[in-house]
Structure 1
Amino acid sequence: MTQIVIVGAGPTGATLALLLAKRGIAVTLIEAARDFHRVFRGEALMPSGLDALEQMGLSALLEDIPHRQLDAWEFIFGEKQFFRVDEPMGADRPCTLLPQPPLLKALISQAQTNDGFEFIQGVPVKDLRWNNQRVAGVVLSDGREFAADLVIGADGRSSLVRQRIGLELVRQPKNVDILWFKLAASPKFATDNVFRTILNSDRAFSIFHGAESGKLHLAWVMSANENTDTKQANWAEIFASLSPSWLAEHFRNRADSIESPIRLSVVVGYCPQWYAPGVLLLGDAAHPMSPVRAQGINLALRDVIVAANHLVPLFHKKARHEEIDMALRQIQAEREPEIIRSQQLQLKEAKQGELLRKNPLLRSLLIQLAPLLGKIIQKSWLNRQYQMRQGIIQVRLTV
């Protein structure tokens, strides 16, 4: 019998599969997509995520993948700098941008060197198998069935595993979507890769140089009452009209490089219960995160470490199903405080951004009083970032 089936080969599923396989546990990893090139994948590894990968013994693997560090974070109100904070903000390493497709390929290639690991790609899970009211495996769309002592749903915010076992996802009220653009890079970002957030009038966007060579990434915040015709809009001129002069010039000069935007529907939520007999949810399947400060992949990697700590000893000793199911409760209990606190911090930052967008008087006062208020607000922002970047609790791999 396959001991563990993991549904979803994103960062959560791939890293957990590798950890388990390296420790001699039989794992089948199933991915519905035929390749890893989705339209959007988060690529920001905070110090907490980099630390998690280092604990897993994967730092050398990262060196073989093209990556790019961030140099600073900057907020521009109107056309003036409000404040800037340089990396690594007291950590021992800066935020690093890493493309997910080559990372996932490398993780799975390494897992495939272990006996007992099987990877199935391009065939989605259709349903779950049951035995005496306990999940006992999965059924694929091509009719194949895989038995398992444990099924792990790492299949994202729209998790089919979560839906099949009827676990509730409590969603935060939705107030924004994101339009995601790519365009030609400016030399200024090559020498000083700053994540810039620009607020001008009631419009806001963030821009930075991603891990992909020669490409800027731009996230345009869309409010619930947005009426911009996204297909017909002159985006180069819109961005330029809101930007400092040097960046406005770049938008106008490279207007032809602006790719059609991808609309990202922001889903933020939390499962009050991550488990049922024979099944566990991890990562976005259990707690889809806001895009604020790129927490999703970093928290998911920490989920993996805690799950491995609990599961490896049990599977080594061929524990009874009752013991495995008891450990699932413990995994959630250990991860829950950090997830809840991170979502609270993200929500606080998102609400502050919305308040600035909607309140012209407040924006005007902040711009006028920037020399006085900038340092105070910067300190408040930094205090929030320390927790989100470095982790709220200590997570250590012990197996």
Structure 2
Amino acid sequence: MSSTAPTEADGHRAPEVSATVCVVGAGPCGAMLALLLVRAGIDVVLLEKNADFLRDFRGDTVQPTTIDVLDQLGIAERFHTLPHRKLAGISLVQNGIGVELADFTGLGLRFPYLAVVPQRDFLHLITAEAARYPGFRLLMRTEATGLLRRDGRAAGVRCRTRNGPLTVRSSLVVAADGRHSVLRRAAGLTPRSLGAPLYVAMFRLSRRATDPDEGLTLRIGQGRTASLTNRTAYWQVSYETGRSGNAPSPGHDVERLRREIGGLVPFLADRTDEIRADTLRLVEVRQDRLRRWHGPGLLFIGDAAHAMSPVGGSGVNLAVQDAVAAANLLAGPLHTCRRTGRPLPRRFLAAVQRRRRLPAVLTQDFHRLLQRVGIPRALRGDQTLARPDGRAARRLLPLLRRLLSRVTGVGLRPEHVRIPLTARPADRQRSRPADDEGTGPSADRCPL
């Protein structure tokens, strides 16, 4: 990577950083892609707008196939030293009746469980491993504000830092900046909406020794639904507060919410006073996807390309699988680009979409089916999922369980790391990531 200082219109000299690839968004998708590329000898700048990875109510479930990717990278053992809880399945409790919705132990997996891990710890693991390799740079508190263009191609990213503007020039820009992607807007792309949003209230309630030993449970009853995740010291609760475009107000009626949670989850009724407006997070969850994930010098992956429903907790796994596929398909062409001095052909970016579009579409459609048919019918009382009536329904439940187990635990078209390790680790882990523009080691890059 190299740094120069171009002159801005006001006469001030703004700092500039360059690399072969600029990845925007240091979530699971962006961080994993950066790690895979630097292992393959591609220099990468990874941008993260926040000052740290400490953010509540993010995807904390790591699926078996994601753990398998970590194993392929040689860091699964370190992953398992992080504070975590293993979940062998997902349960449903409807009107007090329990049933197993998903069981990962019968899928023939090396890691037959979901691991509930704070996302900040997961991201620290990935970025610390990436920092061992030359050519990697993580810039915190660096917010992408727009795209640089040259000769009709994306040529980098304009950023805002605490010290002022920053320019990152790159041959390839990868937007992994989530469902509210800034770069998507900057590129003039609008995703196709897949229905009305779902509004979810997220909060914590303390966990006591007398509580049920549940891991991840969906609770349905009284026309309402909530998911509970056992975080050892507390319960993380996601409670549906509205759908079909009826958005609750930011000051959602806390007293009403306390009553509803106490009725739906009786063993939590004695501590609902812990729900407070200042600790309650109201989230609008939309499913959408781009028709085209790429442009010249620009690629969208993860939620920036296909925003997922929280149903099934598949978002982290799909994001990681996108990253693995992108690295597999792009590492070789990026090396060729650097060797020949030619821009990266767009067909390689199109290949990433061809590889990952079907798993994304099928997973979204499966989630939509559950949200439109299965859960609403159960909420209306038309169907008791926990104790189905009729021979056909009883036969269908095992099939549904196997399907949920496969979609949730494995995903559709799981990816494997296929690019060789070509960079030599320098064992240069930083005590903390860079949080200003700074400069990094020099590296070659393709022409812009």
Q: TM-score, normalised by structure 2?
A: 0.80
SS in 2 for 1:377: helix
- The answer to whether structure 1 residue 153 and structure 2 residue 175 are counterparts is yes
CA distance in 2, matches of 1:64, 1:356: 42
CA shift digits 1:133-174 (9 cap, x unpaired): 111111112222121110110111111111111223111111
CA distance in 1, matches of 2:155, 2:101: 52
Contact conserved, 1:299 with 1:339, CA < 8 A, in 2? Answer: yes
Contact conserved, 1:74 with 1:84, CA < 8 A, in 2? Answer: yes
SS in 2 for 1:391: coil
From 339, 355, 358, the equivalent of 2:376 is 355
Mean alpha-carbon deviation: is it higher for 293-302 or for 222-231? 222-231
CA shift digits 1:189-230 (9 cap, x unpaired): 68x3332222112111121203xx401111111223577973
Report what 2:321 is aligned to. 302
CA distance in 2, matches of 1:374, 1:151: 50
CA distance in 2, matches of 1:364, 1:283: 34
Residues 365/159 of structure 1: CA separation in 2 closer, same or farther (3 Å cut): closer
Contact conserved, 1:73 with 1:86, CA < 8 A, in 2? Answer: yes
Contact conserved, 1:8 with 1:155, CA < 8 A, in 2? Answer: yes
Tell me the amino acid that sits aligned with residue 369 of structure 1.
D
Residues 66/163 of structure 1: CA separation in 2 closer, same or farther (3 Å cut): same
Tell me the amino acid that sits aligned with residue 98 of structure 2.
Q
Contact conserved, 1:203 with 1:357, CA < 8 A, in 2? Answer: no
Q: 1:45-60 maps to which residues of 2 (within 5 A)?
A: 45-60=62-77
Report what 1:206 is aligned to. 227
Residues 41/334 of structure 1: CA separation in 2 closer, same or farther (3 Å cut): same
CA distance in 2, matches of 1:370, 1:96: 35
Contact conserved, 2:19 with 2:171, CA < 8 A, in 1? Answer: yes
Q: 1:333-344 maps to which residues of 2 (within 5 A)?
A: 333-344=354-365
Residues 203/45 of structure 1: CA separation in 2 closer, same or farther (3 Å cut): same
Report what 2:200 is aligned to. 178
SS in 1 for 2:52: coil
Q: TM-score, normalised by structure 1?
A: 0.89
CA distance in 2, matches of 1:61, 1:384: 29
Offset at residue 394 of structure 1 (A): 4.4
Offset at residue 34 of structure 1 (A): 1.0
CA distance in 2, matches of 1:381, 1:221: 23
Contact conserved, 2:104 with 2:405, CA < 8 A, in 1? Answer: no
Report what 1:271 is aligned to. 290
SS in 1 for 2:330: helix
Offset at residue 45 of structure 1 (A): 1.5
Report what 1:232 is aligned to. 254
From 330, 345, 350, the equivalent of 1:329 is 350
SS in 1 for 2:47: strand
Offset at residue 377 of structure 1 (A): 2.4
From 397, 406, 411, the equivalent of 1:377 is 397
SS in 2 for 1:233: helix
- The answer to whether structure 1 residue 21 and structure 2 residue 38 are counterparts is yes
From 34, 41, 46, the equivalent of 2:58 is 41
Offset at residue 328 of structure 1 (A): 0.3
SS in 2 for 1:273: coil
Tell me the amino acid that sits aligned with residue 417 of structure 2.
L
CA distance in 2, matches of 1:99, 1:114: 25
Residues 38/194 of structure 1: CA separation in 2 closer, same or farther (3 Å cut): closer
From 282, 286, 311, the equivalent of 1:292 is 311
CA shift digits 1:253-283 (9 cap, x unpaired): 3334445321111111111111000111111
From 169, 174, 178, the equivalent of 2:191 is 169
CA distance in 2, matches of 1:79, 1:352: 21
- The answer to whether structure 1 residue 280 and structure 2 residue 302 are counterparts is no
SS in 2 for 1:298: helix
Offset at residue 97 of structure 1 (A): 1.0
Offset at residue 384 of structure 1 (A): 3.9
Residues 372/316 of structure 1: CA separation in 2 closer, same or farther (3 Å cut): closer
Report what 1:255 is aligned to. 272
Tell me the amino acid that sits aligned with residue 69 of structure 1.
K
Gap runs ≥5 in structure 1: none
Contact conserved, 2:306 with 2:360, CA < 8 A, in 1? Answer: yes
Tell me the amino acid that sits aligned with residue 308 of structure 1.
A
Mean alpha-carbon deviation: is it higher for 53-62 or for 222-231? 222-231
Residues 368/154 of structure 1: CA separation in 2 closer, same or farther (3 Å cut): closer
Higher RCO by CA contacts (8 Å cutoff, separation 6 or greater): 2
Report what 1:397 is aligned to. 417
Mean alpha-carbon deviation: is it higher for 335-344 or for 228-237? 228-237
Report what 2:331 is aligned to. 312
CA distance in 1, matches of 2:354, 2:347: 11
Q: How many residues align?
A: 390
Offset at residue 67 of structure 1 (A): 0.9
Report what 2:441 is aligned to. none
Residues 175/316 of structure 1: CA separation in 2 closer, same or farther (3 Å cut): closer
CA shift digits 1:306-351 (9 cap, x unpaired): 1111221122232555544221011111111111111111111112
- The answer to whether structure 1 residue 136 and structure 2 residue 158 are counterparts is no
Offset at residue 86 of structure 1 (A): 4.2
* CA root-mean-square deviation: 2.5
Residues 227/42 of structure 1: CA separation in 2 closer, same or farther (3 Å cut): closer
Offset at residue 129 of structure 1 (A): 1.0
More helix by share: 1
Residues 304/232 of structure 1: CA separation in 2 closer, same or farther (3 Å cut): closer
Contact conserved, 1:204 with 1:357, CA < 8 A, in 2? Answer: no
